[in-house]
Structure 1
Amino acid sequence: MRPRTSHDAPNNLDRPPHWDDSAACKASDEPDYWFAEGSDASAIAQRHEAKRVCGSCPCRTSCLHAALERGESSGVWGGLDVNERAALTLLPSARDPGKEAADAPNAIVDEDEEVPAGEEGGQAPEDAATA
Protein backbone atom coordinates (compact mmCIF):
# COMPACT_ATOMS: atom_id res chain seq x y z
CA MET A 1 0.00 0.00 0.00
CA ARG A 2 1.44 3.40 -0.98
CA PRO A 3 1.46 6.32 1.46
CA ARG A 4 -1.21 9.00 1.08
CA THR A 5 -0.03 12.29 -0.39
CA SER A 6 -1.57 15.66 -0.97
CA HIS A 7 -2.33 14.51 -4.51
CA ASP A 8 -4.95 12.22 -2.99
CA ALA A 9 -6.67 15.06 -1.12
CA PRO A 10 -10.04 16.13 -2.47
CA ASN A 11 -10.17 19.46 -4.27
CA ASN A 12 -13.24 20.84 -2.53
CA LEU A 13 -11.90 24.26 -1.51
CA ASP A 14 -13.10 27.38 -3.26
CA ARG A 15 -10.58 29.31 -5.27
CA PRO A 16 -9.47 32.42 -3.39
CA PRO A 17 -10.73 35.71 -4.85
CA HIS A 18 -8.65 37.14 -7.69
CA TRP A 19 -8.62 40.69 -9.05
CA ASP A 20 -10.11 39.59 -12.36
CA ASP A 21 -13.21 38.13 -10.73
CA SER A 22 -14.88 41.54 -10.94
CA ALA A 23 -13.34 42.64 -14.26
CA ALA A 24 -15.79 44.42 -16.58
CA CYS A 25 -14.55 42.48 -19.61
CA LYS A 26 -15.82 39.21 -18.12
CA ALA A 27 -19.39 40.44 -18.55
CA SER A 28 -18.84 41.55 -22.14
CA ASP A 29 -20.89 40.04 -24.94
CA GLU A 30 -17.95 40.63 -27.30
CA PRO A 31 -14.78 39.13 -25.78
CA ASP A 32 -12.99 39.33 -29.14
CA TYR A 33 -12.95 43.14 -28.90
CA TRP A 34 -10.00 42.93 -26.50
CA PHE A 35 -7.94 41.09 -29.12
CA ALA A 36 -8.98 42.86 -32.33
CA GLU A 37 -6.00 43.00 -34.67
CA GLY A 38 -5.33 45.14 -37.68
CA SER A 39 -5.75 48.75 -38.68
CA ASP A 40 -9.07 48.50 -40.48
CA ALA A 41 -12.01 50.56 -39.21
CA SER A 42 -13.71 47.54 -37.63
CA ALA A 43 -10.65 46.52 -35.55
CA ILE A 44 -10.05 50.11 -34.46
CA ALA A 45 -13.69 50.45 -33.39
CA GLN A 46 -13.51 47.18 -31.45
CA ARG A 47 -10.35 48.25 -29.60
CA HIS A 48 -11.94 51.62 -28.86
CA GLU A 49 -14.98 49.88 -27.35
CA ALA A 50 -12.74 47.59 -25.28
CA LYS A 51 -10.86 50.64 -23.94
CA ARG A 52 -14.17 52.36 -23.15
CA VAL A 53 -15.26 49.37 -21.05
CA CYS A 54 -11.85 49.29 -19.35
CA GLY A 55 -12.23 52.96 -18.45
CA SER A 56 -14.91 52.18 -15.88
CA CYS A 57 -13.50 48.84 -14.70
CA PRO A 58 -12.54 48.54 -11.02
CA CYS A 59 -9.71 46.17 -11.99
CA ARG A 60 -8.02 48.42 -14.56
CA THR A 61 -4.84 49.08 -12.57
CA SER A 62 -4.36 45.45 -11.52
CA CYS A 63 -5.04 44.29 -15.08
CA LEU A 64 -2.49 46.68 -16.56
CA HIS A 65 0.09 45.73 -13.94
CA ALA A 66 -0.39 42.02 -14.63
CA ALA A 67 -0.13 42.54 -18.40
CA LEU A 68 3.11 44.51 -18.00
CA GLU A 69 4.56 41.83 -15.71
CA ARG A 70 3.69 39.06 -18.18
CA GLY A 71 4.80 41.07 -21.21
CA GLU A 72 1.46 40.61 -22.98
CA SER A 73 2.14 40.99 -26.69
CA SER A 74 -1.44 41.43 -27.89
CA GLY A 75 -4.81 42.69 -26.82
CA VAL A 76 -6.16 45.50 -24.69
CA TRP A 77 -5.21 45.12 -21.03
CA GLY A 78 -5.91 47.73 -18.39
CA GLY A 79 -7.28 50.05 -21.04
CA LEU A 80 -4.08 50.10 -23.13
CA ASP A 81 -3.26 48.32 -26.37
CA VAL A 82 0.08 46.70 -27.12
CA ASN A 83 1.66 49.89 -28.53
CA GLU A 84 0.53 51.99 -25.57
CA ARG A 85 1.91 49.42 -23.14
CA ALA A 86 5.21 49.30 -25.03
CA ALA A 87 5.50 53.08 -24.70
CA LEU A 88 5.15 52.71 -20.92
CA THR A 89 8.02 50.26 -20.67
CA LEU A 90 10.58 52.30 -22.60
CA LEU A 91 12.75 54.88 -20.89
CA PRO A 92 12.73 58.31 -22.56
CA SER A 93 16.34 57.84 -23.67
CA ALA A 94 15.45 54.51 -25.29
CA ARG A 95 12.66 56.15 -27.31
CA ASP A 96 14.94 58.89 -28.59
CA PRO A 97 18.57 57.72 -28.40
CA GLY A 98 19.85 60.96 -30.02
CA LYS A 99 18.94 63.07 -26.99
CA GLU A 100 20.95 63.12 -23.81
CA ALA A 101 19.36 61.72 -20.66
CA ALA A 102 18.80 63.98 -17.67
CA ASP A 103 21.33 64.12 -14.83
CA ALA A 104 19.34 61.56 -12.85
CA PRO A 105 19.51 58.18 -14.62
CA ASN A 106 15.77 57.47 -14.52
CA ALA A 107 14.42 61.02 -14.63
CA ILE A 108 11.61 61.78 -17.05
CA VAL A 109 12.30 65.04 -18.82
CA ASP A 110 9.64 67.20 -20.44
CA GLU A 111 11.47 68.66 -23.42
CA ASP A 112 8.98 71.54 -23.70
CA GLU A 113 9.28 72.59 -20.06
CA GLU A 114 11.37 75.69 -19.40
CA VAL A 115 14.14 75.34 -16.84
CA PRO A 116 14.05 78.12 -14.21
CA ALA A 117 17.08 80.42 -14.13
CA GLY A 118 19.91 79.01 -12.04
CA GLU A 119 18.94 75.35 -12.54
CA GLU A 120 20.58 74.70 -15.92
CA GLY A 121 23.55 72.93 -14.31
CA GLY A 122 21.37 70.56 -12.34
CA GLN A 123 21.86 72.39 -9.03
CA ALA A 124 19.19 74.16 -7.10
CA PRO A 125 19.79 77.95 -6.82
CA GLU A 126 20.70 77.72 -3.10
CA ASP A 127 23.26 74.98 -3.86
CA ALA A 128 24.85 76.90 -6.74
CA ALA A 129 26.28 79.54 -4.40
CA THR A 130 27.96 76.98 -2.15
CA ALA A 131 29.34 74.75 -4.89
Structure 2
Amino acid sequence: MATTSRTPVAALWDWQRHAACRGMSSSVFYAAPGARGAPRRELEQRAQQICGDCPVRRRCAEFALVTRETYGVWGGLTEAERADRLGTGRKRGPGRAR
Protein backbone atom coordinates (compact mmCIF):
# COMPACT_ATOMS: atom_id res chain seq x y z
CA MET A 1 0.00 0.00 0.00
CA ALA A 2 1.39 3.40 -0.97
CA THR A 3 1.80 6.08 1.64
CA THR A 4 -0.03 9.30 1.13
CA SER A 5 1.66 12.64 1.25
CA ARG A 6 0.29 16.11 1.32
CA THR A 7 -0.51 17.41 -2.08
CA PRO A 8 0.09 21.06 -2.94
CA VAL A 9 -3.67 21.62 -2.87
CA ALA A 10 -4.01 20.08 0.59
CA ALA A 11 -1.25 22.38 1.85
CA LEU A 12 -3.31 25.39 0.78
CA TRP A 13 -6.02 24.34 3.23
CA ASP A 14 -3.82 22.97 6.02
CA TRP A 15 -4.13 26.14 8.08
CA GLN A 16 -7.81 25.35 8.67
CA ARG A 17 -6.85 22.47 10.98
CA HIS A 18 -5.80 25.10 13.54
CA ALA A 19 -8.84 27.37 13.23
CA ALA A 20 -10.88 28.29 16.29
CA CYS A 21 -14.03 27.57 14.28
CA ARG A 22 -13.03 24.03 13.37
CA GLY A 23 -16.01 21.75 13.89
CA MET A 24 -18.50 24.58 14.35
CA SER A 25 -21.63 24.91 12.25
CA SER A 26 -21.11 27.20 9.28
CA SER A 27 -24.36 28.93 10.25
CA VAL A 28 -22.33 30.76 12.91
CA PHE A 29 -20.44 32.58 10.13
CA TYR A 30 -23.04 32.90 7.36
CA ALA A 31 -26.15 35.05 7.67
CA ALA A 32 -29.42 33.62 6.45
CA PRO A 33 -30.42 34.82 2.99
CA GLY A 34 -32.10 38.19 3.30
CA ALA A 35 -30.88 38.79 6.87
CA ARG A 36 -30.52 42.51 7.52
CA GLY A 37 -30.15 45.01 10.32
CA ALA A 38 -29.64 44.01 13.93
CA PRO A 39 -29.91 40.22 13.43
CA ARG A 40 -27.19 40.31 10.77
CA ARG A 41 -24.93 42.59 12.84
CA GLU A 42 -25.35 40.32 15.88
CA LEU A 43 -24.36 37.24 13.86
CA GLU A 44 -21.32 39.07 12.47
CA GLN A 45 -20.28 40.25 15.93
CA ARG A 46 -20.55 36.73 17.38
CA ALA A 47 -18.48 35.35 14.51
CA GLN A 48 -15.89 38.09 14.93
CA GLN A 49 -15.57 37.23 18.63
CA ILE A 50 -14.72 33.64 17.70
CA CYS A 51 -12.21 34.88 15.15
CA GLY A 52 -10.69 37.30 17.66
CA ASP A 53 -8.36 34.82 19.33
CA CYS A 54 -7.96 32.43 16.41
CA PRO A 55 -4.35 31.47 15.70
CA VAL A 56 -4.97 31.46 11.93
CA ARG A 57 -7.15 34.56 11.76
CA ARG A 58 -4.76 36.46 9.49
CA ARG A 59 -4.30 33.51 7.14
CA CYS A 60 -8.06 33.01 6.97
CA ALA A 61 -8.69 36.68 6.14
CA GLU A 62 -5.95 36.61 3.47
CA PHE A 63 -7.46 33.47 1.95
CA ALA A 64 -10.90 35.08 1.77
CA LEU A 65 -9.48 38.20 0.14
CA VAL A 66 -7.35 36.33 -2.40
CA THR A 67 -10.16 33.99 -3.37
CA ARG A 68 -12.68 36.84 -3.28
CA GLU A 69 -14.94 34.92 -0.93
CA THR A 70 -18.29 36.66 -1.25
CA TYR A 71 -20.22 35.40 1.76
CA GLY A 72 -19.76 34.98 5.48
CA VAL A 73 -17.25 36.12 8.07
CA TRP A 74 -13.69 34.97 7.33
CA GLY A 75 -10.74 35.86 9.53
CA GLY A 76 -12.90 38.33 11.39
CA LEU A 77 -13.80 40.24 8.22
CA THR A 78 -17.43 40.61 7.23
CA GLU A 79 -18.66 40.54 3.64
CA ALA A 80 -18.81 44.34 3.60
CA GLU A 81 -15.33 44.73 5.10
CA ARG A 82 -13.81 42.44 2.48
CA ALA A 83 -15.66 44.24 -0.31
CA ASP A 84 -14.35 47.58 0.98
CA ARG A 85 -10.75 46.29 1.08
CA LEU A 86 -11.08 44.91 -2.43
CA GLY A 87 -12.73 48.08 -3.71
CA THR A 88 -15.85 46.17 -4.69
CA GLY A 89 -18.13 47.56 -1.98
CA ARG A 90 -21.60 48.66 -2.95
CA LYS A 91 -22.40 52.32 -2.87
CA ARG A 92 -24.58 53.03 0.11
CA GLY A 93 -27.55 55.22 -0.48
CA PRO A 94 -29.69 57.10 2.02
CA GLY A 95 -30.99 54.83 4.74
CA ARG A 96 -28.46 52.07 4.04
CA ALA A 97 -26.49 51.46 7.20
CA ARG A 98 -22.89 50.44 7.06
- Relative to the length of structure 2, the TM-score reads 0.69
Identity %, equivalent residues: 32
Provide the secondary structure at the position in 2 that maps to 1:35. coil
Structure 2, unaligned runs of 5 or more: 92-98
Secondary structure in 1 aligned to 2:29? helix
Is 1:13 the equivalent of 2:13? no
Q: Scaled by the length of structure 1, what TM-score is found?
A: 0.53
1:107-118 aligned at under 5 Å gives the runs none
Shift of 1:19: 0.9
1:42 to 36, 39, 53: 39
Q: Of the two structures, which has the highest relative contact order with CA contacts closer than 8 Å and spacing of 6 or more?
A: 2
Aligned residue pair count: 82
4+ residue runs of structure 1 moved beyond 2 angstroms? 14-17, 40-44
Q: Does 1:71 align with 2:68?
A: yes
Q: Compute the RMSD of aligned alpha carbons.
A: 2.5
In the alignment, structure 1 segments of 5+ residues that lack a partner are: 1-9, 96-131
Structure index of larger Rg: 1
Q: Which amino acid is the alignment partner of residue 34 of structure 1? A: F
